Structures are given as C-alpha cells and as structure tokens.
Amino acid sequence: MEYTKPLQKLIEYFQKLPSIGPKTAQRLALHILKMDKSEVENFAGAMIEAKTTIKYCSNCFNISSSDPCEICSSISRNKETICVVSEAKDLIAIEKTNEYNGLYHVLQGLISPIDGIGPDDIKVKELLNRVHKENIKEIILALNPSVEGEATALYLSKLLKPFGIKVSRIAYGIPLGSELEYTDELTLIRALESRLEM
Amino acid sequence: MEYTKPLQKLIEYFQKLPSIGPKTAQRLALHILKMDKSEVENFAGAMIEAKTTIKYCSNCFNISSSDPCEICSSISRNKETICVVSEAKDLIAIEKTNEYNGLYHVLQGLISPIDGIGPDDIKVKELLNRVHKENIKEIILALNPSVEGEATALYLSKLLKPFGIKVSRIAYGIPLGSELEYTDELTLIRALESRLEM
C-alpha cells in the first residue's frame, strides 16, 4: 500500500526542495494535512505571491520588490565599495552584522566547471559594467571558502586588477568561539597563512 | 535590511513546518524563487489538492481518498487482527514490511496529559466500537516506545482485557545491525526483560 495519489504528489514536491529527504518530505506533507484549510491556502498563496511579485534589482541582482533595490537607491550607503556575494542569503548574513555600509553585487552563483557553470552564467559581466560606470574604489569578495568560491574569487580578482581599484577578500580563519583543537587542517593552514602582526 | 515582505511571509510559513528551523526555511523559500513559475503553481496546487481531497477512513482513520479505505475494504486481508498505530506514517512503515496482512486502527495521536491530550481526544472509543462489532481475535499495539506510547499502550490493554481477546505489543529490543556497545541502557534493559528462550 502506498499513500493516496494527491498525498504522494505533495510528498514528491517537498522532496524536490534542497536538504529535504524522503522521510522529512513525508512528515511535512502529513503536517499539511493536519493544518487548517485556510492556513494551507495562505501558505500556497504565499508561495505564488513570492514567486510572482519578487524581482531582482537590475543593478546589483539582489532580491527586491523595487528596482533598483533599497540598498542601491539608499542615499546613506557608501557608493564607493561593492561587496560581491554569491547569493542573496549571503548578503542578508552580512547585512545582519550591521558593520558594512557599502553596496553589493549578487553573482547569483559561482563558477563551477563541473556543473557547467562558467563566468557567462553568473553576473560577472554586470559587475564589470558597474566598475566601469560607477565610481568604485574597492571590491570586497565575500564568497564561500569552497573550491567554486575560490575559483570565482581568483577569476574576478584577475579581471578587476586592470581597473586599478583595491580588490580584497574576507579573511578565512578560525571562527570565534571555536577551539583550535577541533578546527580542521585546511582552516588552520589558512589561519596561519593569514596571520596578522600585533 | 530584511527580506522583502512576500519572501519574509513565505519563510515564516516554511518555519511553521515541523523540523524546519529559520535557516532551512530561508533556504527553502529562496529555492521557491528559483523554481519555474509553473512548478511553483503546481506545488501550491498539490498542497491545496492534498488538503481538500484527502479524507480519513471512518472505520480505521487511515488517510484515504475512499471511505472505507483500501485496507478496510480489501477482501484479501485478515479481518480478525487489528494493528493499532498512532499515526498514518506508522501504518505505512508497517505496510512496507509486507509482513502484516490484518487491519489497522490509527489513533491519530497518543495520550499525553502534559499536552492535554486524553483518551477522548484520540480514536480510542472508535477502537472499542470496532472490537464490539467486528469479529476481532487479536489487537497488536504498535506504538512508539516513548512515555506517551507506553501510557497509551497500558491504557488500551486495560480497556481491551475484558473483551477476552489477545492483546499484544510489538517487541522492544536491540535493532538489527546495531551494536550492543552503543545501545542505550533503557533499550538494553528492555531487551533483557523480553529475552526469548532458544
């Protein structure tokens, strides 16, 4: 015996979401059945509303309901610095620190030859255009410390050098609150390499 | 800066689902934005369809699109045994073993005084009615080995004894493929208590 078809279909949709396995998909779908009908309708409506109303800023490619986005059109932000991130969620993570007051550029991906993603598939050209047109003094690369992040950072730094602007990368090292003993070797190597004079 | 409102709303809906924390909810909502519009609409539609078309069998309270459900109306199942489970997902787990050929009764919960769930809040009365009317010879209690599961099993076994039918409980013990060394004490105690002569 299997679940009835409408339930099976819903489980399959949940299973397509990232980090949702078959067991979790089943639990989520069964939870939907237990919710109030109006709540299910609101949830489904929120999904469609988010998909249809949310646009990307045509300047920095951040998720936004306005174009240009809040950050690009803000008068209180420093317009001479661009922080380059891979995804909108990274931008949010940085915004939450309340430390950075410059602009952003969301690449919407990372260069990954294995997955067939080249520089033309992400917003690299658009970043260069901005450096051309806007009065940018520094580019901060805030990409994940993965193979793809490293490759993309290297590629971008080479492209940006001819502009004669400062190109920096966020520091890799031991996260605060962690213990040296449990830090993986690669992180330790990076932390040693990037040591700062005191 | 926060996410735009429609996105924030979607994240909140995802976060209400069981086992979905704020980070996962964010990732799922951002994934929805990346999906094709038609796919999002199908997902939302599947949600509403599942909620509106799926009913519960009025006999065993299993999830079903027909009433009585497939299992209750099957002519090839043994109608003298009822396996009592807490949720439909437990029924599915047992069905997947292909070992059990009797009927089921889904309690739709477990007795849990802390959460204010008493015997009247789950399908206990309905189970007794079935034992009255149907020609039942054995009740197998297949409830989770939790405090609530134990309490419910004990309560049911007391209620069912006067009927003079066999009431059994699935065995608790060391799961197959695991190691004695890593088995928790309570499980070991149960496994010792329930030892079988060879």
Q: Is the pLDDT of residue B80 over 70?
A: yes
Number of A to B CB contacts under 8 A, please give it: 135
d(CA A90, CA B33): 16
pLDDT per position as a tens digit, A147-162: 899 899 999 999 998 9
Under the banding of pLDDT at 50, 70 and 90, the label for residue B2 is: low
**Domain boundaries along the sequence of chain B:** 5-53, 73-171
pLDDT per position as a tens digit, B154-174: 999 999 989 989 998 888 887
Q: What is the pTM of this model?
A: 0.70
Q: Is the pLDDT of residue B188 over 90?
A: no
In 3D, which of A67, A63, A65 has the Cα closest to residue A87?
Answer: A63
Q: What is the mean pLDDT of residues A72-87?
A: 93
Q: Between β-strands A166-169 and A138-141, what pairing exists: parallel, antiparallel or unpaired?
A: parallel
Q: What is the mean pLDDT of residues A31-46?
A: 93
Q: Which of residues 106-165 of A touch B (CB under 8 A)?
A: none
Could B3 and A87 be called an inter-chain contact, meaning their C-beta atoms sit closer than 8 Å? no
d(CA B34, CA A131): 27
For A76, phi and psi rounded to 5 degrees? -95, 0
Q: Is the pLDDT of residue A198 over 70?
A: no
For A169, phi and psi rounded to 5 degrees? -135, 140
B73-171 under CATH 3.40.50.300, yes or no: no
pLDDT per position as a tens digit, B97-149: 888 899 999 999 999 989 899 999 999 999 999 999 999 999 999 988 888 99
pLDDT of A1 reads 54
Give the strand order in the sheet containing A138-141: A103-106, A81-85, A138-141, A166-169
Q: Which residues of B123-145 are buried (b: 16+ CB within 10 A; e: fewer)?
A: bbebbeebbeeeebeebbbbbee
Could B44 and A48 be called an inter-chain contact, meaning their C-beta atoms sit closer than 8 Å? yes
Q: Which of residues 24-63 of A touch B (CB under 8 A)?
A: 24, 26-33, 35, 37, 40-54, 63
d(CA B120, CA A77): 61
What share of chain A in percent tops pLDDT 70?
98
User: Could you give the ipTM of this predicted complex?
Assistant: 0.71
May I ask the CATH class of domain A5-53?
A: mainly alpha
